[in-house]
């Protein structure tokens, strides 16, 4: 009787979860797929185009760079990264794309201190000054005209709390207040004049956290925000309609389809329509009225690597 009751409760819980997901706001659609499946990529949106940068095939990182034209629903190759990398951090500032750090191969091998600037107008890359130390799976975002690189995993495979800021005006890096807790594979986004570092892992892929740290550049200090409802790592994140979207992730033996949104004004979280399938090793970028998510893996590690492009729209 006890087992039957527990089974019924579980079935009811699953039914409620599916019902909630079915009524969550927004919808997903598929667009033209990439030419090849890639894992552990970064995404950036500039001028009506979505750039998919870096990534790995069979555990080896490459200098991949594909551009998706939203209006034409088509892909083309662009100038490759100066170095083959996956798990790079990426941000867009003044119409240019900045990539920071990355690994040269699986699993989390040899975190790099390289940084590059891409100009879509000329289709060229510029090598930037090196970070003070190598890091892969680093959280990167643009805030107040600067590029912030937070957390990550060093060349020895250890998660770190390091917080460096690149100033394009001086072409130099500066150390700032470190994360309150060392971690990588986070969702890192800038909104409302502050930096948000959400979720991630504190060690192995089986580690996870719901921690939400908020950085104030005016005081160079961190404070705690409302935790991520679903603790996870290997996340994609973007700002969309004044919300901070945290999408996907992994916790072996599964991946997450969750799409959870944080409102900086009300300081609350809510669930949006989940992805059609869980995935990690991808990125998210906002252009116009939609969010674009490309490539990654449908299962933990490098199982189920995909070339899909899916698009989220919220009316």
| pLDDT value, residue 8 | 36
User: At 10, is the pLDDT very low, low, confident or very high (cuts 50, 70, 90)?
Assistant: very low
User: At 235, is the pLDDT very low, low, confident or very high (cuts 50, 70, 90)?
Assistant: very high
* Average pLDDT over every residue of 198-218: 96
What does the angle CA 228 – CA 229 – CA 234 come to, to the nearest 5 degrees? 55
Choose between 276 and 12: higher pLDDT. 276
* Domains of the chain from N-terminus onward: 24-313 (2.120.10.80)
| pLDDT value, residue 24 | 85
User: Residue 295 above 70 pLDDT?
Assistant: yes
User: Residue 15 above 90 pLDDT?
Assistant: no
Express each pLDDT in 142-155 by its tens digit: 999 999 999 999 99
User: At 180, is the pLDDT very low, low, confident or very high (cuts 50, 70, 90)?
Assistant: very high
* Average pLDDT over every residue of 209-215: 98
User: Residue 176 above 80 pLDDT?
Assistant: yes
Name 262's Cβ contacts closer than 8 Å, sequence gap at least 6: 196, 198, 212, 225, 226, 243, 244, 246, 268, 269
Prediction pTM value? 0.92
User: Residue 129 above 90 pLDDT?
Assistant: yes
* Average pLDDT over every residue of 246-266: 97
| pLDDT value, residue 136 | 98
Query: d(Cα 182, Cα 177) in Å, to the nearest integer?
Result: 12
User: At 2, is the pLDDT very low, low, confident or very high (cuts 50, 70, 90)?
Assistant: very low
Sign of CA dihedral 62, 122, 77, 31: positive
User: At 17, is the pLDDT very low, low, confident or very high (cuts 50, 70, 90)?
Assistant: very low
Query: d(Cα 113, Cα 160) in Å, to the nearest integer?
Result: 14
Which residue in the block uniquely carries the two structure tokens 């951090």?
Answer: 89
Query: d(Cα 150, Cα 110) in Å, to the nearest integer?
Result: 17
Weakest mean pLDDT among 4-18, 63-77, 204-218:
4-18
Helices (H) and strands (E) counted in the chain, each on its own, are 1, 28
């Amino acid at each position: 009787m006890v087992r039957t009751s527990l089974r019924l409760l579980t079935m009811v819980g699953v039914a409620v979860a599916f019902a909630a997901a079915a009524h969550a706001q927004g919808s997903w659609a598929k667009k033209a797929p990439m030419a090849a499946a890639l894992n552990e990529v970064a995404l950036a949106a500039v001028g009506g185009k979505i750039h998919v940068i870096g990534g790995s095939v069979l555990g080896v990182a490459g200098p991949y760079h594909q551009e998706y034209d939203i209006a034409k629903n088509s892909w083309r190759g662009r100038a490759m990264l100066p170095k083959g990398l996956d798990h790079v951090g990426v941000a867009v500032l003044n119409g240019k794309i900045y990539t920071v750090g990355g690994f040269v191969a699986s699993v989390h091998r040899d975190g790099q201190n390289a940084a590059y600037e891409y100009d879509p107008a000329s289709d060229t890359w510029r090598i930037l000054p090196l970070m003070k130390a190598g890091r892969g799976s680093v959280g990167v975002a643009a805030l107040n005209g600067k590029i912030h690189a937070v957390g990550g995993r060093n060349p020895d495979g250890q998660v770190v709390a390091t917080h460096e800021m690149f100033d394009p005006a001086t072409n130099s890096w500066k150390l700032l207040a470190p994360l309150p807790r060392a971690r990588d594979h986070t969702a890192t986004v800038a909104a409302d004049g502050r930096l948000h570092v959400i979720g991630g892992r504190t060690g192995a892929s089986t580690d996870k956290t719901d921690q939400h740290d908020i950085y104030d550049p005016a005081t160079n200090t961190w404070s705690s925000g409302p935790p991520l409802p679903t603790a996870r790592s290997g996340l994609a994140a973007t700002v969309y309609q004044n919300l901070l979207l945290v999408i996907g992730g992994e916790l072996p033996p599964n991946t997450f389809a969750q799409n959870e949104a944080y409102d900086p004004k009300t300081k609350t979280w809510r669930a949006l329509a989940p992805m059609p399938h869980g995935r990690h090793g991808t990125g998210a970028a906002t252009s116009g009225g939609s969010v674009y998510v490309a490539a990654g893996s449908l299962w933990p590690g490098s199982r189920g690597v995909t070339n899909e492009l899916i698009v989220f729209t919220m009316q």
